[in-house]
């Protein structure tokens, strides 16, 4: 399979290595310094684009590929205010777009555990709920896309939580879920959900040990998406 890498930072390089180890060919490696090379690529010879760039470049990168009819697998966060435009463009061009805030199978299982626990805690009003995430200092957006997905899972289950707020000290208005975002090297990603009361605490944690789980997941999805159409997600891939 011929794969175009849109974004060639640390994640892009690991994705490229894993893809080649699985017998795939990297058709191009695009970053901020050589984006003009897109104009010389033969899109008919690209089977899928894997997009892990930066929030300010993601929309333009994805739009370019979708407009060429190239399926896109995207893991860039921080640009989702424009996602509906990409979804519409995907349908218009009869191709496929797959977005996930996190491609790790373990994290996606953690998403389900988070929702299940939130459902159990929905009537336990004595518990204060908070979310903490830790990433490396090169991560541009805060909170992480994974943290936002976790927050949305809680909000969807617990009526007394209407939204989330980024907070350094955990103090937010009533009805908001506080998210604390820390940037510490070399952490690839830790997410902690806490329910705290005067009597006891309940805590669930996911800790990534490297970026390889995210990268492998993106390659596996790119292998799966090749013949598919429409707007897709990890629920489709994992059949949750």
Evaluate whether 195 touches 157 at the Cβ level (below 8 Å): no
Give residue-wise pLDDT tens across range 186-237: 888 899 999 999 999 999 999 988 888 889 999 999 999 988 999 999 989 9
The whole-number pLDDT of residue 161 equals: 97
- Whether the CA torsion 204, 121, 232, 87 is positive or negative: it is negative
Evaluate whether 10 touches 211 at the Cβ level (below 8 Å): yes
Give residue-wise pLDDT tens across range 162-172: 999 999 887 89
* CATH architecture observed for domain 105-207: 2-Layer Sandwich (3.30)
The whole-number pLDDT of residue 240 equals: 54
Among the residue ranges 61-65, 131-135, 210-214, the one predicted with the least confidence is: 210-214
Does the active-site annotation cover 135? yes
Does the active-site annotation cover 206? no
Residue 93 banded pLDDT, cuts 50, 70, 90 = very high
CA angle, 38 then 43 then 49, to 5°: 75
Fold observed for domain 2-103+212-238: Rossmann fold (3.40.50)
Say whether pLDDT at 130 is over 80: yes
Q: Which residue among the candidates 135, 165, 182, 212 is catalytic per the annotation?
A: 135
Among 23, 29, 25, residue whose Cα is nearest residue 6: 29
Q: Identify the burial level of 155 via C-beta atoms within 10 angstroms of its C-beta, where 0-12 means exposed, 13-18 middle and 19 or more buried.
A: middle
Beta strands 2-6 and 25-30, pairing class: parallel
pTM of the model: 0.79
The whole-number pLDDT of residue 2 equals: 97
Q: Which residue among the candidates 139, 226, 228, 229 is catalytic per the annotation?
A: 139
Cis peptide before 143 (omega within 30 of 0): yes
Domains in the chain: boundaries: 2-103+212-238, 105-207
């Amino acid at each position: 399979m011929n794969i175009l890498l849109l974004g060639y930072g640390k994640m892009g390089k690991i994705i490229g290595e894993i893809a080649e180890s699985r017998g795939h060919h990297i058709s191009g490696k695009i970053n901020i310094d050589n984006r003009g090379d897109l104009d010389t690529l033969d899109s008919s010879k690209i089977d899928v684009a894997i997009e892990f760039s930066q929030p300010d470049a993601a929309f333009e990168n994805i739009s370019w590929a979708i407009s060429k009819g190239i399926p896109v697998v995207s893991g860039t966060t921080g640009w989702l205010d424009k996602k509906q435009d990409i979804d519409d463009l995907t349908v218009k061009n009869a191709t496929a777009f797959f977005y996930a805030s996190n491609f790790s199978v373990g994290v996606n299982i953690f998403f389900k555990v988070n929702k299940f626990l939130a459902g159990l805690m929905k009537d336990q009003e004595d518990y204060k709920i908070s979310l903490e995430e830790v990433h490396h200092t090169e991560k541009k957006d805060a909170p992480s896309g994974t943290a936002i997905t976790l927050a949305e899972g809680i909000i969807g289950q617990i009526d007394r939580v209407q939204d989330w707020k980024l907070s350094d000290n955990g103090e937010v208005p009533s009805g908001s879920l506080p998210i604390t975002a820390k940037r510490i090297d070399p952490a690839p990603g830790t997410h902690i959900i806490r329910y705290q009361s005067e009597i006891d605490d309940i805590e669930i944690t996911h800790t990534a040990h490297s970026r390889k789980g995210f990268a492998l997941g993106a390659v596996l999805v790119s292998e799966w998406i090749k013949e598919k159409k429409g707007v897709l997600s990890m629920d489709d891939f994992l059949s949750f």
